[in-house]
């Protein structure tokens, strides 16, 4: 039964082999090691899934990691329903993207390095989802962040790429700062950081308050929000979303695997995993829901006007992650996980298709320079179209079912902000459909707007790339079918499967209302697609006119609400300025060093004065002696 250990450790072995022997020996064969390892993990994962389906949950320690007094933690694994879902998502996407990369990265000089990092990432991600305690979760958490840093900055000789990698890491550290404190609070509260005892005891602390930094706060709210800080960073929610768009500097397979399908969803996974804690705090849940809803709207509006094909998808990812948090925040953890699962397929597919387009366009990313690619690359076109239909929530496609479930549970659940986030969610559904099809129409329809050289070069991508596209496309269409709601005659199997871990909120609504919510979301999706068709297929002068008319609004969106500029202005520059001018310039140089160099200097000055007495001239000595005698005599006489 312990063969589940192969799931994380096969990729780790592949990483070690590639990083140690890749550069000199394996070279362009490096991918074999990584692909075999991750495919092996996938096979063991499927076997494990059947175990879990049969009701066998694994929770055991491998070895004792840190022991210090009453603080004890092991490297240990928990495989329950929630983990099983994540395992399937991670290993499936990872395997397909590994294969795709063989074609995409072909001939790159850092080939071995790329596959080494991918394997390391897979290992860390698996450790993250398989952990049975918070510290190992944290290990995987920081580990995937590290791989993300390596892979964003993969083309490290480019300044923009190395900047983006560094930014991703540091922004995430801000989130992890809270996350780490959350773990400490959990330990101080429960005396342990293993999931099982923490979650089973959480109810007992439901009404406890604690003094935190001088304020009396509700204990479970505090812990939940500290953990949520980590989620905000990792899943690129406001205000820590700034790193994800820049992360597109990495190779496209990386964007698909790490910055869409798996790593960035870890934040959602964390909230779902800690649902026993979050559920005890209405405040925390409300903040989660609002953060998700606002982020999702915010990112969708930015996505409307961008021209960089990968950045649009990146903003779409932020927006969809917001959707998942929105779901978790109204207590619909299963719906959030369901969307995580379907999103992994269609979003990975969108990115890989974008990569395929870039491949054909010799690295061009600007939508305005594309157009009419449909006839040159049919497989890419059709798969990307299906992915977009899925994300737009067209009935029958995977995204439809998960999105509908979220919207329905937001509408009908007992959350005080439920109705509000439902409205936002519906608006976002419209915007999502619009920008997704804007991308499709501008890329594949109409006339080619690039250079002649590019046009000459246009071609469909090699088999290693198109086959993963087709397989993922099946997922983008069909993955939602395991969760067809009862309303449509389905079995809602996905929800039933996760219920033992996550529970399921009560829906307070009639069938009529459920039909209405569904109808509104379908209308929103279709009108988004329709409007995009109108703007970019029929009346192509409207967008230009609009940008001129609403220039100020357009500028704000184009510049992403100036958040990066704001952070640079209030955090980065002041920190460096303080270091240069105050700490080095004043404290170290003028205060401390002044004392340090001043004392010896003072002593030196003092002795220089004393030294003047010793002139070496006998007359002086005699005069001073006479003076001394005089003084002594005077003193004796006057006494």
Partner 1 sequence: MEQTIMNNLGFPILSTLIFLPVAGAALLLLISRSNENLIKWFSLIVSIAAFIISIPLFAEFNKSTHLMQFTEKHAWIPSLNINYHLGIDGISVLFVLLSTLITILCVLISWNSIKAKTKEFYISILIMEGAMIGVFCSLDFMLFYLFWEAMLIPMYLLIGVWGGTNRIYAAVKFFLFTLVGSVLMLVGIIVLYYQAGGTFDILELTTKTYPYKLQLWLFWAFFAAFAVKVPMFPVHTWLPDAHTEAPTAGSVILAAVLIKMGAYGFIRFSLPLFPDASKAMTPAMLTLSVIAIIYGAVICLAQTDLKRLIAYSSVSHMGFVTLGIFALNLQGMEGGILQMINHGVVTGALFLSVGMIYDRTHTRQIADYGGVASVMPVYASIFMVFTLASIGLPATNGFIGEFLIILGGFKANQWAGVLAATGIIIGAGYMLWLYQRVFFMETNQKVAGLADINLREIITLLPMIILVFWIGVYPNAFLGFMHESVKHLLERVNSGGMHEAGIAKNILEIIK
- Check residue 620 for interaction with partner 1 (CB under 8 A): no
Minimum CB separation from partner 1 for residue 263, in Å? 15
- Check residue 16 for interaction with partner 1 (CB under 8 A): no
Structure tokens at 224: 């939940």
- In the list 578, 607, 626, 627, the residue contacting partner 1 (rule: CB under 8 A) is 578
- In the list 157, 216, 453, 541, the residue contacting partner 1 (rule: CB under 8 A) is 157
Minimum CB separation from partner 1 for residue 407, in Å? 37
Minimum CB separation from partner 1 for residue 566, in Å? 18
- Considering the complex, state which of residue 160 and residue 540 has its C-beta at the smaller distance from partner 1: 160
Closest C-alpha to 429, from 526, 345, 321: 526
Number of residues that bind partner 1 (CB under 8 A): 52
Per-residue buried b or exposed e for 375-400, using 16+ beta carbons within 10 Å of the residue's own CB = ebbebbbbbbbbbbbbbbbbeebbbb
Per DSSP, helices labelled H in 213-281 are: 219-234, 243-246, 252-256, 266-273, 275-278
- In the list 576, 586, 626, 627, the residue contacting partner 1 (rule: CB under 8 A) is 576
- Considering the complex, state which of residue 153 and residue 331 has its C-beta at the smaller distance from partner 1: 153
- Considering the complex, state which of residue 181 and residue 556 has its C-beta at the smaller distance from partner 1: 181
- Considering the complex, state which of residue 366 and residue 588 has its C-beta at the smaller distance from partner 1: 588
- Considering the complex, state which of residue 586 and residue 623 has its C-beta at the smaller distance from partner 1: 586
- Check residue 28 for interaction with partner 1 (CB under 8 A): no
Of the listed pieces 164-172, 248-256, 392-400, 495-503, which binds partner 1 according to CB under 8 A?
Answer: 164-172
Q: What distance in Å separates the CA atoms of residue 504 and residue 76, rounded to the nearest whole number? A: 27
Q: What distance in Å separates the CA atoms of residue 221 and residue 209, rounded to the nearest whole number? A: 9
Minimum CB separation from partner 1 for residue 8, in Å? 13
- Check residue 562 for interaction with partner 1 (CB under 8 A): no
- In the list 55, 69, 107, 604, the residue contacting partner 1 (rule: CB under 8 A) is 69
- Check residue 138 for interaction with partner 1 (CB under 8 A): yes
* Cα dist from 296 to 144, 240, 259, 354, whole Å: 23, 13, 16, 22
Of the listed pieces 152-160, 304-312, 427-435, 462-470, which binds partner 1 according to CB under 8 A?
Answer: 152-160
Q: How many CB atoms lie within 10 A of CB 610?
A: 9
Residue 96 neighbours by CB under 8 Å, 6+ apart: 348, 468, 471, 472
216 pairs with which residues across the strands? 211
Minimum CB separation from partner 1 for residue 403, in Å? 35
The site string for partner 1 over 96-135 (x = CB under 8 A, - otherwise) reads ---------------------------------------x
- Considering the complex, state which of residue 4 and residue 169 has its C-beta at the smaller distance from partner 1: 169
Sign (positive/negative) of CA torsion 64, 68, 72, 75? Answer: negative
**Degrees, nearest 5: CA angle 11-17-22:** 120
Q: What distance in Å separates the CA atoms of residue 392 and residue 436, rounded to the nearest whole number? A: 7
* Cα dist from 594 to 317, 577, 582, 589, whole Å: 54, 21, 15, 7
- Check residue 19 for interaction with partner 1 (CB under 8 A): yes
From the number of C-beta atoms within 10 Å of its C-beta (0-12, 13-18, 19+), residue 606 rates as exposed
Binders of partner 1 in range 174-233 (CB under 8 A)? 174, 177, 180-181, 184, 187-188, 212-213
- Check residue 447 for interaction with partner 1 (CB under 8 A): no
Of the listed pieces 83-91, 160-168, 217-225, 623-631, which binds partner 1 according to CB under 8 A?
Answer: 160-168
Quote the radius of gyration of the chain (alpha carbons, Å).
Answer: 31
- Considering the complex, state which of residue 489 and residue 600 has its C-beta at the smaller distance from partner 1: 600
Residue 517 neighbours by CB under 8 Å, 6+ apart: 404, 407, 408, 411, 412, 422, 509
The site string for partner 1 over 580-619 (x = CB under 8 A, - otherwise) reads x--xx--xx--xxx--x---x-------------------
- Check residue 631 for interaction with partner 1 (CB under 8 A): no
From the number of C-beta atoms within 10 Å of its C-beta (0-12, 13-18, 19+), residue 185 rates as middle
Closest C-alpha to 458, from 470, 448, 467, 446: 448
- Check residue 369 for interaction with partner 1 (CB under 8 A): no
Q: What distance in Å separates the CA atoms of residue 562 and residue 557, rounded to the nearest whole number? A: 9
Minimum CB separation from partner 1 for residue 33, in Å? 18
- Considering the complex, state which of residue 375 and residue 580 has its C-beta at the smaller distance from partner 1: 580
Q: What distance in Å separates the CA atoms of residue 79 and residue 49, rounded to the nearest whole number? A: 9
Minimum CB separation from partner 1 for residue 42, in Å? 24
Minimum CB separation from partner 1 for residue 142, in Å? 5
- Check residue 626 for interaction with partner 1 (CB under 8 A): no
Minimum CB separation from partner 1 for residue 597, in Å? 9
Structure tokens at 622: 């005699």
Q: What distance in Å separates the CA atoms of residue 88 and residue 92, rounded to the nearest whole number? A: 6
Of the listed pieces 27-35, 67-75, 345-353, 378-386, which binds partner 1 according to CB under 8 A?
Answer: 67-75
Structure tokens at 388: 């977009």
Q: What distance in Å separates the CA atoms of residue 432 and residue 141, rounded to the nearest whole number? A: 29
The helix or strand, by DSSP H or E, that contains position 248, with its residue range, turns out to be none
* Cα dist from 284 to 205, 235, 290, 332, 594, whole Å: 15, 17, 10, 14, 51
Minimum CB separation from partner 1 for residue 233, in Å? 11
- In the list 66, 523, 545, 630, the residue contacting partner 1 (rule: CB under 8 A) is 66
Minimum CB separation from partner 1 for residue 580, in Å? 4
- Considering the complex, state which of residue 570 and residue 592 has its C-beta at the smaller distance from partner 1: 592
Q: According to the 3-state scheme, what is the secondary structure of 155-178? A: CCCCHHHHHHHHHHHHHHHHHHHH
Of the listed pieces 195-203, 339-347, 368-376, 579-587, which binds partner 1 according to CB under 8 A?
Answer: 579-587
- In the list 4, 104, 169, 323, the residue contacting partner 1 (rule: CB under 8 A) is 169
Sign (positive/negative) of CA torsion 554, 560, 562, 565? Answer: negative
Minimum CB separation from partner 1 for residue 596, in Å? 6
The answer to whether the CB of 387 falls within 8 A of the CB of 493 is: no
Binding site for partner 1 (CB under 8 A): 19, 23, 63-71, 135, 138-139, 142-143, 146, 149, 153, 156-159, 162-163, 166, 169-170, 173-174, 177, 180-181, 184, 187-188, 212-213, 575-576, 578-580, 583-584, 587-588, 591-593, 596, 600
């Amino acid at each position: 039964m312990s063969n589940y250990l192969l799931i994380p450790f096969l990729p780790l072995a592949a990483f070690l082999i590639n990083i140690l022997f890749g550069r000199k020996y394996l070279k362009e064969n490096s991918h074999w090691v990584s692909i075999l390892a991750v495919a092996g993990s996938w096979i063991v994962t499927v076997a494990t899934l059947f175990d879990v389906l049969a009701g066998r949950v694994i929770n055991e320690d491998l070895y004792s990691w840190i022991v210090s007094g009453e603080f004890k933690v092991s490297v240990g694994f928990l495989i329950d329903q929630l983990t099983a879902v994540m395992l399937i998502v991670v290993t499936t996407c990872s395997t397909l993207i590994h294969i795709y990369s063989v074609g995409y990265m072909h001939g790159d000089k850092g080939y071995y390095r790329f596959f080494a990092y991918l394997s390391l990432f897979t290992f860390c991600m698996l450790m993250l989802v398989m952990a049975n305690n918070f510290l190992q979760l944290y290990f995987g958490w920081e580990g995937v962040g590290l791989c993300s840093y390596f892979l964003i900055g993969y083309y490290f000789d480019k300044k923009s790429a190395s900047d983006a990698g560094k930014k991703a890491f540091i922004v995430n550290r801000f989130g992890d700062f809270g996350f780490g404190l959350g773990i400490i609070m959990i330990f101080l509260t429960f005396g342990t950081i293993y999931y099982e005892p923490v979650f089973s005891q959480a109810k007992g602390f439901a009404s406890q308050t604690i003094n935190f930094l001088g304020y009396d706060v509700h204990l479970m709210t505090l812990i939940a929000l500290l953990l949520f800080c980590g989620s905000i960073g990792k899943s690129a929610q406001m205000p820590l979303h700034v790193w994800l768009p820049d992360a597109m500097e990495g190779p496209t397979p990386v964007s698909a695997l790490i910055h869409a399908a798996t790593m960035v969803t870890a934040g959602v996974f964390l909230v779902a995993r800690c649902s026993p804690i979050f559920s005890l705090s209405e405040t925390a849940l409300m903040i989660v829901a609002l953060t998700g809803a606002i982020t999702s709207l915010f990112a969708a509006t930015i996505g409307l006007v961008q021209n960089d094909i990968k950045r649009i998808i990146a903003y779409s990812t932020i927006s969809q992650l917001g959707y998942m948090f929105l779901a978790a925040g109204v207590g619909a953890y299963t719906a959030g996980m369901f969307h995580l699962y379907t999103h992994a397929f269609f979003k990975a597919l969108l990115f890989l298709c974008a990569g395929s387009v870039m491949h054909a366009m010799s690295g061009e990313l600007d939508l305005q320079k594309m157009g009419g690619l449909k006839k040159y690359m049919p497989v890419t076109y059709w798969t990307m179209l299906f992915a977009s239909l899925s994300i737009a929530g067209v009935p029958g496609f995977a995204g439809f079912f998960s999105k509908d479930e979220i919207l329905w549970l937001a509408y009908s659940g007992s959350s005080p902000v439920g109705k509000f986030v439902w409205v936002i969610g519906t608006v976002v559904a419209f915007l999502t459909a619009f920008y997704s099809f804007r991308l499709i129409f501008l890329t594949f329809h109409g006339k080619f707007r690039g250079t002649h050289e590019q046009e000459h070069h246009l071609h469909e991508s090699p088999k290693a790339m198109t086959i993963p596209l087709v397989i993922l496309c099946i997922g983008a269409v069909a993955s939602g079918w395991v969760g067809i709601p009862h309303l449509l005659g389905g079995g809602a199997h996905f929800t039933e499967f996760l219920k033992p871990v996550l529970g399921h909120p009560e829906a307070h609504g009639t069938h009529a209302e459920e039909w209405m919510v569904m109808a509104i979301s379908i209308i929103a999706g279709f009108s988004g697609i329709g409007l995009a068709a109108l703007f970019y297929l029929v009346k192509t002068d409207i967008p230009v006119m609009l940008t001129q008319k609403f220039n100020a609004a357009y500028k704000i969106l184009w510049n992403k609400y100036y958040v990066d500029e704001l952070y640079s202005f209030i955090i980065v520059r002041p920190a460096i300025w303080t270091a240069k001018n105050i700490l080095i310039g004043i404290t170290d140089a003028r205060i401390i060093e002044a004392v340090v160099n001043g004392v010896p200097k003072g002593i030196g000055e003092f002795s220089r004065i004393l030294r003047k007495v010793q002139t070496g001239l006998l007359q002086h000595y005699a005069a001073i002696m006479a003076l001394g005698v005089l003084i002594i005599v005077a003193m004796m006489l006057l006494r």
